[in-house]
Structure 1
Amino acid sequence: MKSVLLLLIAIISEVIATCALKESAGFTRLLPSLILIIGYGIAFYLFTISLEQIPLGIAYAVWSGLGTVGTILVANLLWDEK
């Protein structure tokens, strides 16, 4: 159960980092760039730990699926993207 929670936190961190990627304007804005770097660092670290208990194929499918849905929802809410 701990691994599933770590995977979910990793996904949330990845979605935050991906949204910061848009806001960083090509790494020209400091705060979004820092959020991006830290967010991806946390995401990949927690993803790696979750792989100790969750098979790679399942973890990656959940990661990519929920990450995509989360990013779409945030983009829709924050930037009115369709």
Structure 2
Amino acid sequence: MAYALLGGAILAEVLGTTSMKYSDGFTRLWPSLGTAVGYLIAFAFLAQTLKTLSVGTAYAIWSGVGTAAIAGIGMVFLGEAATATKLIGVVLVIAGVVVLNLGGGH
């Protein structure tokens, strides 16, 4: 159940961050509200996750997967450059999350 909540937190954070891109500096109402709601849900789910997972593991997964997802969305859907350096960085972020999980932090 903790990983399902963590997945929900990641999804909500990714949606909130993507909405922020479209908020135009919080000058557009609906994307701005999407950002606020996304982050509110993300933190609520993350808080519930922390009842059963260690904070280091949960936060590493949340931030790492969220970072990789946002980078991918930027490259695939928002026209950001998909350079070798960015792709290596995303792979390293994912590898770091995997290594932290293998360390038995839960």
For the superposition of Structure 1 and Structure 2, which TM-score range results when normalised by the shorter chain?
over 0.9
- Which one-letter code corresponds to 1:62 in the other structure? I
The aligned counterpart of 1:41 is 40
After TM superposition, the runs of 4+ consecutive aligned structure 1 residues lying more than 6 A away are none
The aligned counterpart of 1:61 is 60
**2:4 is the alignment partner of 1:5:** yes
- Which one-letter code corresponds to 1:11 in the other structure? I
Q: Which structure 2 segments of 5+ residues have no match?
A: 82-106
Count of residue correspondences:
81
Query: In structure 2, how many angstroms separate the alpha carbons of the residues matched to 1:77 and 1:32?
Result: 20
Query: In structure 2, how many angstroms separate the alpha carbons of the residues matched to 1:25 and 1:72?
Result: 19
- Which one-letter code corresponds to 2:74 in the other structure? A
Q: State percent identity of aligned pairs.
A: 41
Q: TM-score, normalised by structure 1?
A: 0.95
- RCO greater where, 1 or 2, for CA within 8 Å and sep 6 or more? 1
State the superposition RMSD in angstroms.
Answer: 0.7
Structure having the higher Rg: 2
